[in-house]
């Protein structure tokens, strides 16, 4: 049976506060929480305020999980999970068929997908009418890292689609986190940055 999902658009209320809220969808063990932490570290290095935290629960390896990021020019006072993201990042291409990844997406928001599908296929299969960014992160990760682990690869797509942080501080965060394997992760991230397609 074909599954149809829709984008639920929630208008922004406080345009004066320059804060971006991000929800990452992945599976247990794919590194979604690590990705969130790396973005927050890079944002703080740029002089911004940031949070990164997972969705706590009885998740097991391979089960759908979520992580959250907030990046702001001003102090962040809320500590609750992100219900109405500006940006959604989907690490696993199978998840849009299982989870409404666009739930609560704000007006003008974007969904960033790891997918081999075309824009037309994505809109038809999942009913997504919002702005999209797409990259075949699985292929990039296999070729650059030797493993289909897409968390750092999808960081390149996030940067290309949103500019939420700059490349240089994110590279430094990767170096500190991954040490000797950081060059491969940086290569995957940069390649995804180049290959990500952003559509209206």
Distances (CA, A) of 40 to 57, 97, 99: 22, 29, 25
pLDDT value at 190 more than 50: yes
DSSP at 129: -
pLDDT value at 33 more than 50: yes
Can you tell me the distance from the alpha carbon of 93 to that of 173, in angstroms, rounded to the nearest whole number?
Answer: 26
Q: What is the pLDDT of residue 1?
A: 45
For residue 74, what are the contacts with CB-CB under 8 A and spacing of at least 6? 17, 18, 19, 49
pLDDT tens, residue by residue, 42-52: 999 999 999 99
Closest CA to 73 of 53, 50, 51, 40: 50
pTM as predicted:
0.88
Looking at residues 13-29, what average pLDDT do you find? 78
First to last CA, the chain: 28
pLDDT value at 38 more than 80: yes
Looking at residues 74-101, what average pLDDT do you find? 94
Q: What is the pLDDT of residue 113?
A: 98
Domains and CATH numbers, the chain: 19-199 (3.40.920.10)
pLDDT value at 98 more than 50: yes
pLDDT value at 11 more than 90: no
Q: How confident is the model at residue 59 (pLDDT cuts 50, 70, 90)?
A: low
Helix axes 182-195, 137-145, angle to 10 degrees: 150
For residue 119, what are the contacts with CB-CB under 8 A and spacing of at least 6? 132, 134, 197, 199
Q: What is the pLDDT of residue 10?
A: 44
pLDDT value at 9 more than 70: no
Distances (CA, A) of 6 to 49, 105, 136: 32, 10, 22
Q: What is the pLDDT of residue 24?
A: 96
Is the distance from CB of 100 to CB of 120 less than 8 angstroms? no
Looking at residues 61-88, what average pLDDT do you find? 91
């Amino acid at each position: 049976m074909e599954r149809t999902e829709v984008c639920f658009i929630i208008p922004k209320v406080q345009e004066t506060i320059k804060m971006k809220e991000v929800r990452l969808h992945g599976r247990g063990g794919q590194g979604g929480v690590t990705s969130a932490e790396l973005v927050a570290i890079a944002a703080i290095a740029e002089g911004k305020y940031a949070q990164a935290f997972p969705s706590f629960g009885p998740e097991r390896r391979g089960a759908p999980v979520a992580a959250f990021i907030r990046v702001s020019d001003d102090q962040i006072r809320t500590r609750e999970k992100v219900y109405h993201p500006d940006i959604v990042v989907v690490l696993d291409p199978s998840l849009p068929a299982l989870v409404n990844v666009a739930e609560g997406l704000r007006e003008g928001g974007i969904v960033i997908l790891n997918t081999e599908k075309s824009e037309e296929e994505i809109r038809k299969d999942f009913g997504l009418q919002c702005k999209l960014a797409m990259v075949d992160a699985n292929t990039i990760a296999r070729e650059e890292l030797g493993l289909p682990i897409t968390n750092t690869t999808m960081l390149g797509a996030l940067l290309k689609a949103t500019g939420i942080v700059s490349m240089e501080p994110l590279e430094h965060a990767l170096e500190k986190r991954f040490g000797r394997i950081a060059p491969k992760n940086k290569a995957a991230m940069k390649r995804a940055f180049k290959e990500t397609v952003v559509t209206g």
